[in-house]
Amino acid sequence: MFGKSNARVTPDAVLAALRNVQEPELHRDLVTLKMVKDIAVQDGEVSFTITLTTPACPLRNVMEQDAHAAVMKLPGVERVVVNFDAQVRADSRIAGKLDIPIKNIIAVASGKGGVGKTTVAVNLAVALAQMGANVGILDADIYGPNVPMMMGVDTMPPVSNGKLTPPLAHGVEVMSIGFLVPEGEALIWRGPMLHGAIRQLLTDVNWGGPSGVAGQGLDYLIVDMPPGTGDAQLTLAQSVPVTAGIIVTMPQAVSLADAMRGLKAFERLEVPVMGIVENMAGEVVGEGGGEAGAMRLGVPFLGRVYLNPAIRRGGDVGEPAVAYQPESEQAVAFRELAQKVAAQVSVLNVRRSATSSAPIKLEMGAS
Ligand SMILES: Nc1ncnc2c1ncn2[C@@H]1O[C@H](COP(=O)(O)OP(=O)(O)OP(=O)(O)O)[C@@H](O)[C@H]1O
Ligand SMILES: [Mg+2]
């Protein structure tokens, strides 16, 4: 080219160029996905904003480079500025069922107790909030409501206008079934009472209210399930469409057999299983079992967290690893998990809006 080109760049030309840029997770172009806005052209400088489907998007840099390169190719363009914002896609089935300001509900479960469900749920929630999402965590474990302790919350939520206001901890709104059930009474609760309580925790809580994350509702509600495959899973799935379920397992075979039961329970309830997390890997119980199990069960492997006493200590005093040891190996693992989960939720919702209401099974490696 001979110096400055005189070709005039138009917003339409920019849009056409961006039709060649794929969203790497969703496998469709940015324009078709309606992710491009605010195109401005001034002399040789082009700027635009890409609206990500989640602030926890793991492939933002790839998109930035691709979009930059595509627009730079246009004759007359000398400089490209790519801005980002995010608008989390909603699971449209939730609004159809309950009038609650929650876009996505993610259940964390396991076949057996003590494998680290609550630890994973708490760190996942805090990591998503750190990345800029509006997040709540709902403790549905009637037999051992540990979320308040692990989040460092010990106050009963205040009631206003007939709704409970969830306390905020580490940027996450916290609500526990333990706030509703008098201590010692959990074991005599029957199905219908549990049903009522879980429904109440969804509908009678001021999720995403003005005193909480932002007054704009929640992007993600993480639900910490009790161990096993019993009433709580059934109740939750009957009360509200669950966007996806995550299964936590330990590496050893017995734990995997339990994970399999958890997975089957979700499938029966038509909750898409997002994948398996392997927790407490290390010298004592080995590692890799979760990954091999995920492969065998045909679901994605979401990540591995090693056994580390710092995780337990943090859990005991309400200091989640991602908030208090942000540079640690475990915090990195939890953040990667959060990005994978957020990306998978986007994939599910975009596919859902494109296809029928038929149940969706996630593919392996779709991350
Ligand atoms: N990766 C880890 N390294 C060390 N300790 C861990 C790890 N993950 C969880 N723990 C600890 O193990 C114990 C059990 O974890 P957690 O309560 O999260 O499991 P759970 O599956 O929710 O249990 P329950 O079935 O009783 O609800 C806790 O003390 C927790 O701090
Ligand atoms: Mg627990």
Q: Burial level of 284, CB count in 10 A (0-12/13-18/19+)? A: exposed
Element (H, E) at 247: strand 244-249
Tens of pLDDT, residue by residue over 143-177, are 889 999 999 998 888 888 889 999 999 999 999 99
Write the residue with the smallest CA distance to atom 2 of ligand 1. Answer: 307
CA of 110 to the centre of ligand 1 (A): 12
CA of 208 to the centre of ligand 2 (A): 23
Tens of pLDDT, residue by residue over 320-353, are 999 999 999 999 999 999 999 999 999 999 988 8
CB neighbours of 218 closer than 8 A, spacing ≥ 6? Answer: 101, 102, 103, 134, 135, 136, 173, 207, 208
Pairing of strands 220-224, 105-109: parallel
CA of 315 to the centre of ligand 1 (A): 8
Write the residue with the smallest CA distance to atom 30 of ligand 1. Answer: 312
Number of neighbours of residue 159 by Cβ within 10 angstroms: 11
Tens of pLDDT, residue by residue over 62-93, are 999 999 999 999 999 999 999 999 999 999 99
Helix (H, G, I), strand (E, B) or coil at 128: helix
What per-residue confidence (pLDDT) applies to 360? 53
pTM for this entry = 0.92
Whether 367 shows a pLDDT value over 50: the answer reads: no
Distance between CA atoms of residues 216 and 222, nearest Å: 17
**Among residues 64, 15, 66, which one has the least CA distance to residue 41?**
15
Percent of the chain with pLDDT over 90: 65
If you compute the radius of gyration of the chain from its CA atoms, what whole number of angstroms results?
22
Q: Name every protein residue with a CB atom under 6 angstroms from any ligand 1 atom.
A: 110, 113-119, 141, 144, 146, 227, 279-280, 305, 307-308, 311-312, 315
Q: What is the mean pLDDT of residues 274-296?
A: 89
Tens of pLDDT, residue by residue over 194-241, are 888 889 999 999 999 887 777 789 999 999 998 877 778 888 898 899
Q: Burial level of 269, CB count in 10 A (0-12/13-18/19+)? A: middle
Nearest ligand 1 atom to alpha carbon 113: 25
What per-residue confidence (pLDDT) applies to 5? 52
What per-residue confidence (pLDDT) applies to 287? 86
Whether 312 shows a pLDDT value over 90: the answer reads: yes
CA of 145 to the centre of ligand 2 (A): 7
CB neighbours of 148 closer than 8 A, spacing ≥ 6? Answer: 139, 154, 174, 176, 178, 179
